[in-house]
Structure 1
Protein backbone atom coordinates (compact mmCIF):
# COMPACT_ATOMS: atom_id res chain seq x y z
CA UNK A 1 0.00 0.00 0.00
CA UNK A 2 1.38 3.45 -0.86
CA UNK A 3 2.16 5.98 1.84
CA UNK A 4 -0.81 8.07 2.99
CA UNK A 5 0.42 11.24 1.28
CA UNK A 6 0.64 9.46 -2.08
CA UNK A 7 -2.43 7.18 -1.79
CA UNK A 8 -5.35 7.67 -4.15
CA UNK A 9 -8.22 9.23 -2.22
CA UNK A 10 -10.90 7.46 -4.26
CA UNK A 11 -9.72 3.88 -3.62
CA UNK A 12 -7.65 4.50 -0.47
CA UNK A 13 -4.53 3.17 -2.20
CA UNK A 14 -6.00 -0.23 -3.08
CA UNK A 15 -6.46 0.37 -6.81
CA UNK A 16 -9.94 -1.16 -6.71
CA UNK A 17 -13.40 0.19 -6.05
CA UNK A 18 -16.36 -1.91 -4.92
CA UNK A 19 -20.06 -1.34 -5.54
CA UNK A 20 -22.94 -2.23 -3.22
CA UNK A 21 -23.15 -5.74 -4.71
CA UNK A 22 -19.42 -6.25 -3.94
CA UNK A 23 -18.30 -6.20 -7.57
CA UNK A 24 -14.72 -4.93 -7.77
CA UNK A 25 -13.60 -2.43 -10.39
CA UNK A 26 -10.30 -0.84 -11.31
CA UNK A 27 -10.15 2.68 -9.91
CA UNK A 28 -10.58 5.17 -12.76
CA UNK A 29 -8.86 7.98 -10.83
CA UNK A 30 -5.47 6.27 -10.33
CA UNK A 31 -5.91 3.63 -13.09
CA UNK A 32 -5.50 0.86 -10.51
CA UNK A 33 -2.08 1.97 -9.31
CA UNK A 34 -3.22 3.17 -5.90
CA UNK A 35 -0.84 6.14 -6.19
CA UNK A 36 -2.10 9.68 -6.56
CA UNK A 37 -0.19 12.64 -5.17
CA UNK A 38 -2.63 14.77 -3.17
CA UNK A 39 -1.87 17.87 -5.24
CA UNK A 40 -2.65 16.18 -8.57
CA UNK A 41 -5.41 17.73 -10.64
CA UNK A 42 -8.05 15.16 -11.62
CA UNK A 43 -10.06 17.54 -13.79
CA UNK A 44 -9.07 15.60 -16.94
CA UNK A 45 -11.04 12.52 -15.92
CA UNK A 46 -12.88 10.56 -18.58
CA UNK A 47 -16.49 9.58 -18.12
CA UNK A 48 -16.78 5.88 -17.36
CA UNK A 49 -18.62 3.63 -19.81
CA UNK A 50 -21.38 1.97 -17.76
CA UNK A 51 -24.18 -0.50 -18.37
CA UNK A 52 -27.85 0.02 -17.44
CA UNK A 53 -27.13 -0.83 -13.78
CA UNK A 54 -24.20 1.65 -13.65
CA UNK A 55 -21.51 -1.03 -13.58
CA UNK A 56 -18.30 0.13 -15.21
CA UNK A 57 -17.52 -1.57 -18.52
CA UNK A 58 -13.88 -2.11 -19.47
Structure 2
Protein backbone atom coordinates (compact mmCIF):
# COMPACT_ATOMS: atom_id res chain seq x y z
CA UNK A 1 0.00 0.00 0.00
CA UNK A 2 2.85 2.38 0.80
CA UNK A 3 4.39 1.83 -2.64
CA UNK A 4 1.06 2.64 -4.33
CA UNK A 5 0.83 5.96 -2.42
CA UNK A 6 4.41 6.85 -3.40
CA UNK A 7 3.69 6.04 -7.05
CA UNK A 8 0.47 8.06 -6.93
CA UNK A 9 2.25 11.10 -5.50
CA UNK A 10 5.02 10.94 -8.11
CA UNK A 11 2.69 10.47 -11.07
CA UNK A 12 2.97 13.42 -13.52
CA UNK A 13 0.86 12.36 -16.51
CA UNK A 14 -1.77 15.12 -16.18
CA UNK A 15 0.72 17.85 -15.37
CA UNK A 16 1.49 18.69 -19.02
CA UNK A 17 -2.15 19.17 -19.92
CA UNK A 18 -2.71 21.38 -16.87
CA UNK A 19 0.23 23.56 -17.89
CA UNK A 20 -1.09 23.90 -21.45
CA UNK A 21 -4.53 24.82 -20.10
CA UNK A 22 -2.99 27.42 -17.80
CA UNK A 23 -0.98 29.00 -20.63
CA UNK A 24 -4.04 29.00 -22.89
CA UNK A 25 -6.08 30.69 -20.17
CA UNK A 26 -3.44 33.38 -19.68
CA UNK A 27 -3.31 34.04 -23.42
CA UNK A 28 -7.12 34.26 -23.59
CA UNK A 29 -7.20 36.74 -20.72
CA UNK A 30 -4.50 38.80 -22.45
CA UNK A 31 -6.39 38.88 -25.74
CA UNK A 32 -9.59 39.96 -24.02
CA UNK A 33 -7.66 42.67 -22.18
CA UNK A 34 -6.14 43.97 -25.40
CA UNK A 35 -9.54 44.02 -27.09
CA UNK A 36 -10.96 46.01 -24.19
CA UNK A 37 -8.08 48.49 -24.33
CA UNK A 38 -7.88 48.87 -28.11
CA UNK A 39 -11.43 47.95 -29.12
CA UNK A 40 -12.49 51.45 -30.12
CA UNK A 41 -9.34 51.99 -32.21
CA UNK A 42 -9.83 48.65 -33.98
CA UNK A 43 -13.46 49.48 -34.77
CA UNK A 44 -12.40 52.89 -36.11
CA UNK A 45 -9.85 51.30 -38.44
CA UNK A 46 -12.41 48.82 -39.76
CA UNK A 47 -14.83 51.68 -40.37
CA UNK A 48 -12.15 53.55 -42.36
CA UNK A 49 -11.50 50.49 -44.51
CA UNK A 50 -15.22 49.93 -45.03
CA UNK A 51 -15.69 53.58 -45.98
CA UNK A 52 -12.83 53.31 -48.48
CA UNK A 53 -14.50 50.34 -50.18
CA UNK A 54 -17.95 51.92 -50.19
CA UNK A 55 -16.89 55.41 -51.28
CA UNK A 56 -19.73 57.05 -53.15
CA UNK A 57 -17.39 58.94 -55.47
CA UNK A 58 -15.62 55.82 -56.74
CA UNK A 59 -16.65 54.56 -60.17
CA UNK A 60 -18.79 51.43 -60.19
TM score, norm. by length of structure 2: 0.18
RCO higher in structure (CA 8 A, sep ≥6): 1
TM score, norm. by length of structure 1: 0.18
Return the structure number with greater strand share.
1
Tell which structure's C-alpha radius of gyration is larger.
2
